[in-house]
Amino acid sequence: MPELAEQLRLMAVHAHPDDESSKGAATMARYLAEGAQVLVVTCTGGERGSVLNPKLDRPDVWSNIADIRRAEMDAARAILGVEQAWLGFVDSGLPEGDPLPPLPEGCFALQDVEVAAGPLVRLMREFRPHVVTTYDENGGYPHPDHIMCHKISMAAFEAAGDPTRYPELGEPWQPLKLYYDIGFSKAKIMALHEAMLAAGHESPYVEWLQRWGDGPDKGARITTQVECGQYFPVRDDALRAHATQVDPDGFWFHVPMEIQRQAWPTEDFELARSLVESPLPESDLFAGVRAVGAVDTTDPR
C-alpha cells in the first residue's frame, strides 16, 4: 500500500491496560509504520484486574497492582509507538458467583453514560480521529468495563461533531468511521488449529473448539480484515510487557509466528458506523477516508 498522502488519525478505545495489546495492536503498528497517528484511550487503570502470570502471583504484586499496571502500560506504549491517554475511571472488576455480587461503588461500569462520555468527547475533539475502534455491544466478551467502553464510545462518536453537545469540551470534530474489534471467529481458530496439526504440532485450540461447538460465532460480522502479519511480533512484545496479565510461556504464545502469518495474517473488525462510502468487504480501516483525504470534519451536519 502506498504511504499516506496526508497524516490520518486512528483512535482505539479500550477498557483496561493490556486490551490495546491483545486487540488490534498489529493493525495499529502497521498504520503507524505507514505514517498515521494513533492514540490509545484507556478507560480504567485496571486496578481490580487479576494477576494472570503465575510467576508474578505474589502479595507484593497484588498490593501494588495499580502502579504496576501503569508501568506495564508505559512499556507497551513505547513498544507499539502509540500515543496514549487515560480517562481515569476505576476498574469495575469481573463479578463472579451465582448470584453475581453487586459492582463496586464508584466504578466505571456504574457511571452515567452521558457523563462518562464527556472525557472521551474532549479527547476526540483534541485528537480529531478519522477512525475509531472499540468493542461491540457485548464488550467483545461480557466484562462490565468492556460493555461500558462500548457505550461511551458510541455516545462520544455521535456527540463529538455536534456543536450543541458538550459545548464546553472543545471545537466539534466528527470521526468518519467506527469499528468493533473482532478478536476471534470460529474460522480463525479452526484455521490456526488445522495449520498447527498440518505442521506436526499439538494444537492449543482443541478444548476451545470443543467448548465452542455450535455456540455463537462473530465471524459473519467481520466486514474488514487488515493484513498485518508483519507486525505480529510487535503485538506479542507489547502484550508481554503487561507481565501481570499474560504468562509468557502460556497459551497465547504456543503458535509459531510463521504459522500465524500463514494461517490468518489479518486482524478483523466490524464496520459499525460510517459517514463515507466504502464498499464491503474492506481491507483498510481508512477505506473511503483516503478518498476524501484528511478532511476537516467539523460539524458535517
Where along the chain do its domains lie?
A: 9-183+221-253+266-292
Instruction: Please give the grid coordinates belonging to residue 253.
Output: 504464545
Domain 9-183+221-253+266-292, CATH among 3.90.850.10, 3.40.50.620, 3.30.1780.10, 3.40.50.10320 = 3.40.50.10320
pLDDT of 216: 83
- Give CA–CA dist 193/180, Å, rounded: 24
Weakly modelled stretches of the chain, pLDDT under 70 = 1-6, 293-301
Task: For residue 215, give the 3-state DSSP assignment.
Answer: coil
pLDDT of 300: 41
- Give CA–CA dist 288/201, Å, rounded: 41
Mention every residue, 6+ apart, whose C-beta is less than 8 A from residue 180. 133, 134, 135, 136, 140, 221, 269, 270, 272
Q: How many residues does the chain have?
A: 301
Query: Please, is 271 exposed, middle or buried when counting C-beta atoms within 10 Å of its C-beta (0-12, 13-18, 19+)?
Result: buried
Q: How far is CA 233 from CA 6, 96, 284, in A?
A: 27, 34, 20
254 is in an annotated binding site: no
Q: How far is CA 87 from CA 39, 81, 112, 119, 211, in A?
A: 12, 19, 14, 6, 36
pLDDT digits (tens, 9 = 90+) for 169-182: 999 999 999 999 99
pLDDT of 68: 97
pLDDT of 3: 39
Instruction: Please give the grid coordinates belonging to residue 66.
Output: 495499580
19 is in an annotated binding site: yes
pLDDT of 145: 98
249 is in an annotated binding site: no
pLDDT of 6: 65
